[in-house]
Chains A and B, each alone.
Chain A
Amino acid sequence: MAKKVDPITLSVVRGVLETTQREMTVALENTARSSVFNLAHDYSNAIFNHVPEMIMQGQDIPIHLGSLIPAMKCVAGYFGDDIHPGDVLMHNDPAYMGSHMIDTCMYKPVFYKGELVFWAVCKGHLTDIGGPVPAGYNPDAKELYAEGLRIPPVKIFDKGVKRYDVMNMILTNLRARRDQEGDFNAQLGAVQVGERNLIALLDKYGLEEVRACIDELMGMADRQMRTLMKKVPDGTYSGTAIVEDAGHGLGDMEITATVTIEDDNCHIKIDSPPQVPYFINSYEGNSYSGVYLGVMMFAQLPPPYNEGLYRCVSVDMGPKGTLCNAKEPAPHMNCTTTPMETLTDAVRLAFEQAVPDLVSASWGHANGCNIAGWDTRHDEEYVTMVLASIISGAGATPQQDGWHACGPECCFGALTSGDVELLEYSYPIIIHRYSLMTDSGGAGKYRGGSGTCWEVEPIDKPMTFITFGEGRRIPAVGAAGAKSQMTEPKVGRIEISREDRVDLIKTNVIETINPGERAANMNPGGGGYGNPFERPVEKVLHDVKNQLVSIEGARQDYGVVIKDAEGLEIDRAATDSLRADLVAAQ
């Protein structure tokens, strides 16, 4: 390895890039208006070089960052030579490598001494993007046009001059204009902070040295990933995961990832069925996020995170017009969770075939809700995505139990759910329950993390309750031989309690909940790792004591017999014999 750059400067440049990304994030969070930004962290920031390659990926939402890699190239390519100092570009359209339309991106080219040197980029989930259904998720959409406003690459600043006409055109099409405008300002602030810091860096070290350092940082990420790939035996491995029928009536669908390892290179081929007239089609940009997250669930590498990680990874997303490589006008709004999480699982499973000891289990998929209605306290409409409703369990790893309440898989712990009292203060609702769920974590030598239940009742006026996602029939997939017997508590579901009955719902629906009625949104737990019958009985007992596992769950899932429900005493003899039987039956 030729050492071209000064090692000290290299460390400093890396620190400045990380600080810059962090300050972009702080600027965005402190100024944004919507709770999806403020409370939930549903945004991401990144820095690109002139090529443009992603040179700094934050630790933000995985679903955003993978897709930014092709999106940045697509948007820069669209304008070609027509990019000037003072420009700011905006875009959300999946046909131009966007993820889903409600995630809107801002791109600021950074010029230094007249030369385009960097891009500061910010992507965030708005609370609304127009279209017939508030908050964007429309399970009845048959086409992209029924899901909101498509924004192809446009300039919102042209050589430093704000394009009020373009902004007005966009804002006119969105609900809650004041909030959306505030969020756009916040994004603009973030990319400006990025620009300011990057220029200061160049002033100090000069373009040539900074570029050399960045090349080296990308080279490091590349070498890290290649070193890892080299450890995987050459060969072809495949993994298949199932996208559940979440109410469209088209039946279950399969996504298969075929991973071919040759020396230190990795090729991933995706096979998925033809696209469907339901909001779960994933365009190419979004599918990159799914594939890259699957790779990272295997790789689990430390920073630096940049595009160098994926230099040795080539991807064939399958023919246009398929579920994972959709073409216009396929509807897509649900794609960042479904089928993205299934796609991630397929890639992860293929790697598990290759190196079973290294790959973590799948996390619970998103099974969430949006709510809307009338707030009589202020006489105004309310609408929001409820991030607290998608908090699932994390998958167990080869080293430890999965984290409780950390998912969904597509967000990998980056979301926050918001305080119960703040939500009740902001919306006319009573949250009756926000808790972990017994027996929800996947069984394994290492247990999957518990999913959560979020139960809500509207005050005064009926509430519109819109569900999205899946993971309601098939539990999060375990790893290294982990398997649960008691599956029902491990999947997502919705229970609506009315005066005389409780409805169990496992599809995507739009329901009306009246005051006095309750909707409970239950999220799946994470998958387990390793053979559950090898889990030490003390750990099972500990989980039973804490009601993370029931006495019946201990018997069925772990072969542990507890004879005294009061004193929680283990029947060693019965446990040994039950475990022996269960192992024999495996």
Chain B
Amino acid sequence: MRTKYRLGVDAGGTFTDFVLAGDAGNVSLFKTLSTPEDPTKAIENGLSLMAEGLGLKQEEIISQCDLCINGTTVGLNALIQHKGAKTGLICTAGHEDSLEIRLGHKEDGYRYDAEYPPAQMLVPRYLRRGVRERVLSNGSVRTALVEEDVRAACTLFLEEGVEAVAISLLWSVLNPAHERRAAEIVREMMPGSFLTVGSELYPQVREYTRTSTAVTNAYLGPTLKRYVDSVDRYFADHGAKYPVRYFQSNGGLAIGGAMTDRSVYAINSGPASAPQAGLFVSDPFDQKNVITVDMGGTSFDITLTKDGNTNLNKNIDFLRYRIGVPMIQVETLGAGGGSIGWIDDMGLLQVGPQSAGADPGPVCYGQGGTEPTVTDANIVLGYVNPGALLGGRMQLNRDKAYAAIKQRVADPLEISVERAAYGIFTIVNNNMVNGIRRVSVERGFDPRDFVLVAAGGAGAAHITALAREMGIDSVLVPKLASGLCAFGQVISDVKYNYMASAPHRFEGDATFGQLNDLFAEIEEQGVAHLEADGFARADIDVRRSMDMRYVGQVHECTVDIGNFDITGETADQVKEAFHQRHEQLYTYSERHNAVEVVNIESTIYGRVEKPNPPHLGDGAGAAGALKSQRPMIFSNDGKAVDCPVYDGERLGAGDEVDGPAVIEEVTTTIVIEPHWQALLHESGSYVLRRKA
């Protein structure tokens, strides 16, 4: 029988969001300040707030949840602050330094910067121990494992107080025997340590990526374990009937044990739920091409979903560490409501990436901030009502915002404050547009084929301007925009990625047979894992993909192949899909050339029943929701026009608002530029369209 609630808890940099979805499609959103030093605190605080708001006890809510989901920044923070475990690496002798060589590259943008430091090593050189052994590129053993080298490494690690060990040997993806034996020795000599084995975590070709991924996993494992244990305990103590699920950077859920063993999947979990939420709110409009933009206090996160499939990143540098495992591609910019407008050495106006954060926050918060932010500009432009933030619980000071923009931006540039404010607005939008181009144009997608979904507290103020700049004609702003990621988590499935390395030219029945066997092998593990989680076989879904390329190429592209076996016949379909994907990405294909497979992957889903969508009652026309009029600025000349302000709480399904206008919701403000129109849909989203 269905239980009553589903709970999502999403920890962000400034706020932790709580979403409670009831079975009747009712959704409530609560926010509490994040507590990065002890993240479980914020969970306790938020749950108390929620219990109070609903007039229930925490136990009543938790025990009636079939799913409690947590998106956490614990892994991310440990990586940013370098507060992970003391970690040792066991690797092939002669290759101890690939982590530090980093392919010999210095990041773009810092080439002539004499003060840009090298990336901090997660394992110092003296704890990266080479062992004599060698497997070759065809999987054969050239040199047998010298076990005493592994023992010597463990002895050193024990002396040095190492808590976590990563093992990553060359070509272990083709022949894992040496890694497995080394792991046995580590388990025997260091039974209390956290162990990550490269070929188990990330069995794909590319030694540097695999080693770096394994090291990051080991580095974060103990920290994640402590966190997960404490959250699991809290929920268990408060009557949870089911294990807490954690949200992963791959866009799916995992139980605590999996989150610990595969801690590297936790590093960007929060924003990775945006695509699910975007698809959910777009579903009533039959839209499967979605770009989500989430603008909060300090950052702007972008994701792209095409035909229901979300852009994934594999093998990227995340916070300067190479990570192989698939992560939802989230393009993050330092562009939020708190981003600071400033004049650089050459007299150019810049916005961000520095942010006033939550403390002191924008100047208009009156908490001591002196540097003008995007929020300050939005107040001067009339977009944000100084008295309407958080339902009137927070008063903003327009005069202070005005003075700060005058002093820091307008006077140095010798322009009016209104023009300066519009300049801050324009430049932060321009930065965001360039970010959207990176997930769309650079991935071979035309942004005009997508619907834009606004999320985050600040997103809705910029959304029509962004759409205008991109040439996008249709935008969705859910009433829930400010907590969209937490909502995305409660509608996600459990998701595990299983991989194998399979470097073969894609031809011949023998190869096809081998690939099918490999798929079957990794899927068996995945299905067993989900069944152990309590999923019935009927609720488990498998999706296969292969990384393919033309012979002689270096970069692969990933081809989704559903879940069928490869035969002479289906192989032609797979090749065709590859050619088409290549064209989409790179504008051309080479149908006459041989194709090869590098890696294969199966994604195993445990399907979770989705909550019902909300259903709003019909409205009686927007006029009844008109609150006031106020002047707003919509052009570079700084001239203001008088615009109507509507109360979103009083609008109903079918109500229409013509721009220029503003709709104020409790946690967000929607700015509708001239030539745009908003229509509130019964599913709880505003549809913004450019008028012909």
A residues near B, CB below 8 A? 1, 3, 6-8, 10-12, 14-15, 19, 23, 26, 29-31, 33, 35, 38-39, 41, 59, 62, 178-179, 185, 189, 220, 223-224, 296-297, 299-302, 304, 360, 387-388, 391, 394, 397-400, 403-407, 412-422, 424-426, 430, 432-436, 452, 455, 459, 545-548
Cα of A481 to Cα of B350 in the assembled complex, Å = 39
Cα of A309 to Cα of B209 in the assembled complex, Å = 38
Query: Is the beta-carbon distance between A31 and B101 smaller than 8 angstroms?
Result: no
Shortest CB–CB separation between residue B269 and chain A, in angstroms?
A: 27
Nearest 9 Cβ contacts at the A-B interface:
A413-B106, A397-B114, A433-B94, A391-B104, A546-B125, A8-B423, A38-B554, A417-B104, A405-B101
With a cutoff of 8 Å between Cβ atoms, the chain B residues found around residue A223 in the complex are: 346
Cα of A425 to Cα of B109 in the assembled complex, Å = 32
Shortest CB–CB separation between residue B591 and chain A, in angstroms?
A: 14
With a cutoff of 8 Å between Cβ atoms, the chain B residues found around residue A416 in the complex are: 103-105
The contact of B97 among A185, A299, A435, by CB within 8 Å, is: A435
Within 8 A of A (CB), among B85-109: 94-98, 100-106, 108-109
Q: Is B415 in the interface zone, CB < 8 Å from A? A: yes
Cα of A419 to Cα of B554 in the assembled complex, Å = 11
| Further pairs besides A300-B113, A414-B105, A414-B111: 5, Cβ < 8 Å | A1-B347, A178-B552, A189-B587, A419-B209, A434-B95
Q: Is B207 in the interface zone, CB < 8 Å from A? A: yes
Query: Is the beta-carbon distance between B100 and A405 smaller than 8 angstroms?
Result: yes
Q: Is B563 in the interface zone, CB < 8 Å from A? A: no
With a cutoff of 8 Å between Cβ atoms, the chain A residues found around residue B125 in the complex are: 436, 546-548
Query: Is the beta-carbon distance between A418 and B553 smaller than 8 angstroms?
Result: no
- Given A223-B346, A360-B114, A405-B102, A422-B206 contact (CB < 8 Å): yes
Query: Is the beta-carbon distance between A425 and B503 smaller than 8 angstroms?
Result: yes
Query: Is the beta-carbon distance between A420 and B96 smaller than 8 angstroms?
Result: no
Query: Is the beta-carbon distance between A59 and B108 smaller than 8 angstroms?
Result: yes
Query: Is the beta-carbon distance between B112 and A404 smaller than 8 angstroms?
Result: no
- Given A189-B587, A546-B126, A398-B104 contact (CB < 8 Å): no
Shortest CB–CB separation between residue B467 and chain A, in angstroms?
A: 16
Query: Is the beta-carbon distance between B205 and A296 smaller than 8 angstroms?
Result: no
Q: Is B442 in the interface zone, CB < 8 Å from A? A: yes
Query: Is the beta-carbon distance between A11 and B430 smaller than 8 angstroms?
Result: yes
Interface centre among A397, A417, A455 (most CB of B within 10 A): A417
Q: List 17 A-B contacts (CB under 8 A).
A: A7-B349, A7-B415, A8-B426, A23-B441, A30-B586, A35-B554, A39-B554, A220-B346, A300-B112, A398-B114, A405-B104, A413-B111, A415-B105, A418-B554, A420-B207, A430-B136, A434-B94
Query: Is the beta-carbon distance between B348 and A11 smaller than 8 angstroms?
Result: yes
Shortest CB–CB separation between residue A296 and chain B, in angstroms?
A: 5
With a cutoff of 8 Å between Cβ atoms, the chain B residues found around residue A547 in the complex are: 125-126
With a cutoff of 8 Å between Cβ atoms, the chain B residues found around residue A15 in the complex are: 427, 430-431, 434
Interface centre among A11, A399, A412, A436 (most CB of B within 10 A): A11
Q: Is B508 in the interface zone, CB < 8 Å from A? A: no
- Given A23-B441, A406-B106, A547-B126, A8-B427 contact (CB < 8 Å): yes
With a cutoff of 8 Å between Cβ atoms, the chain A residues found around residue B109 in the complex are: 59
Within 8 A of A (CB), among B350-396: 350
The contact of B430 among A1, A12, A35, A220, by CB within 8 Å, is: A12
Q: Which A-chain residue is minimally distant from B426 (CB atoms)?
A: A8
Chain B 215-246 interface mask (CB, 8 Å, partner A; 1/0): 00000000000000000000000000000000
Chain B 418-458 interface mask (CB, 8 Å, partner A; 1/0): 01001100110011001001000110000000000000000
Query: Is the beta-carbon distance between B117 and A38 smaller than 8 angstroms?
Result: no
- Given A179-B552, A417-B101, A435-B95, A23-B442 contact (CB < 8 Å): yes
With a cutoff of 8 Å between Cβ atoms, the chain A residues found around residue B96 in the complex are: 435
Q: Is B636 in the interface zone, CB < 8 Å from A? A: yes
Q: Is B333 in the interface zone, CB < 8 Å from A? A: no
With a cutoff of 8 Å between Cβ atoms, the chain A residues found around residue B137 in the complex are: 421, 424-425
Q: Is B617 in the interface zone, CB < 8 Å from A? A: no
Q: Is B414 in the interface zone, CB < 8 Å from A? A: yes
Q: Which B-chain residue is minimally distant from A545 (CB atoms)?
A: B126
With a cutoff of 8 Å between Cβ atoms, the chain A residues found around residue B423 in the complex are: 7-8, 11
Query: Is the beta-carbon distance between A406 and B142 smaller than 8 angstroms?
Result: no
Chain B 115-145 interface mask (CB, 8 Å, partner A; 1/0): 1011000001110000000101100001000
Cα of A471 to Cα of B566 in the assembled complex, Å = 53
Query: Is the beta-carbon distance between B95 and A433 smaller than 8 angstroms?
Result: yes
Shortest CB–CB separation between residue A393 and chain B, in angstroms?
A: 10
Shortest CB–CB separation between residue B637 and chain A, in angstroms?
A: 11
Cα of A406 to Cα of B116 in the assembled complex, Å = 13
Q: Is B171 in the interface zone, CB < 8 Å from A? A: yes
Cα of A547 to Cα of B347 in the assembled complex, Å = 47
With a cutoff of 8 Å between Cβ atoms, the chain A residues found around residue B134 in the complex are: 430
Shortest CB–CB separation between residue A308 and chain B, in angstroms?
A: 11
Shortest CB–CB separation between residue B466 and chain A, in angstroms?
A: 14
Shortest CB–CB separation between residue A425 and chain B, in angstroms?
A: 5
Cα of A520 to Cα of B94 in the assembled complex, Å = 12
With a cutoff of 8 Å between Cβ atoms, the chain B residues found around residue A41 in the complex are: 105
With a cutoff of 8 Å between Cβ atoms, the chain A residues found around residue B104 in the complex are: 387-388, 391, 405-407, 415-417, 452
Cα of A545 to Cα of B350 in the assembled complex, Å = 44
Interface centre among A59, A300, A397, A420 (most CB of B within 10 A): A420
Query: Is the beta-carbon distance between A420 and B552 smaller than 8 angstroms?
Result: no
With a cutoff of 8 Å between Cβ atoms, the chain A residues found around residue B117 in the complex are: 400
The contact of B205 among A220, A302, A421, by CB within 8 Å, is: A421
Interface centre among A7, A29, A404, A436 (most CB of B within 10 A): A7
Q: Which B-chain residue is minimally distant from A423 (CB atoms)?
A: B137
Cα of A63 to Cα of B459 in the assembled complex, Å = 43
Cα of A544 to Cα of B97 in the assembled complex, Å = 16
Cα of A178 to Cα of B550 in the assembled complex, Å = 12
Query: Is the beta-carbon distance between B106 and A33 smaller than 8 angstroms?
Result: no
Query: Is the beta-carbon distance between A422 and B554 smaller than 8 angstroms?
Result: yes
Q: Which B-chain residue is minimally distant from A30 (CB atoms)?
A: B586
Shortest CB–CB separation between residue B48 and chain A, in angstroms?
A: 45
Q: Is B208 in the interface zone, CB < 8 Å from A? A: yes
Cα of A1 to Cα of B431 in the assembled complex, Å = 27
With a cutoff of 8 Å between Cβ atoms, the chain B residues found around residue A178 in the complex are: 552
Q: Is B76 in the interface zone, CB < 8 Å from A? A: no
Q: Which B-chain residue is minimally distant from A29 (CB atoms)?
A: B555
Q: Is B413 in the interface zone, CB < 8 Å from A? A: yes
Cα of A336 to Cα of B492 in the assembled complex, Å = 54
- Given A388-B104, A424-B136, A424-B137, A38-B431 contact (CB < 8 Å): no
Query: Is the beta-carbon distance between B136 and A419 smaller than 8 angstroms?
Result: no
With a cutoff of 8 Å between Cβ atoms, the chain A residues found around residue B434 in the complex are: 15, 19
Query: Is the beta-carbon distance between A12 and B426 smaller than 8 angstroms?
Result: yes
With a cutoff of 8 Å between Cβ atoms, the chain B residues found around residue A406 in the complex are: 104-106
Q: Which A-chain residue is minimally distant from B550 (CB atoms)?
A: A33
Query: Is the beta-carbon distance between B115 and A399 smaller than 8 angstroms?
Result: yes
Q: Is B588 in the interface zone, CB < 8 Å from A? A: yes
Query: Is the beta-carbon distance between B503 and A455 smaller than 8 angstroms?
Result: no
Shortest CB–CB separation between residue A340 and chain B, in angstroms?
A: 17
- Given A416-B104, A455-B94, A546-B125, A399-B413 contact (CB < 8 Å): no
The contact of B206 among A14, A31, A421, A548, by CB within 8 Å, is: A421
Cα of A487 to Cα of B345 in the assembled complex, Å = 42
Query: Is the beta-carbon distance between A26 and B114 smaller than 8 angstroms?
Result: no
Shortest CB–CB separation between residue A495 and chain B, in angstroms?
A: 14
The contact of B170 among A7, A420, A426, by CB within 8 Å, is: A420
With a cutoff of 8 Å between Cβ atoms, the chain A residues found around residue B98 in the complex are: 420, 434
Cα of A407 to Cα of B105 in the assembled complex, Å = 8
Shortest CB–CB separation between residue A452 and chain B, in angstroms?
A: 6
Query: Is the beta-carbon distance between B118 and A31 smaller than 8 angstroms?
Result: no
Q: Is B561 in the interface zone, CB < 8 Å from A? A: no
With a cutoff of 8 Å between Cβ atoms, the chain A residues found around residue B171 in the complex are: 421, 424
- Given A3-B414, A23-B437, A436-B100 contact (CB < 8 Å): yes
Shortest CB–CB separation between residue B110 and chain A, in angstroms?
A: 8
Q: Which B-chain residue is minimally distant from A414 (CB atoms)?
A: B111
Cα of A435 to Cα of B208 in the assembled complex, Å = 12
- Given A3-B414, A435-B97, A452-B104, A419-B115 contact (CB < 8 Å): no
With a cutoff of 8 Å between Cβ atoms, the chain B residues found around residue A35 in the complex are: 554
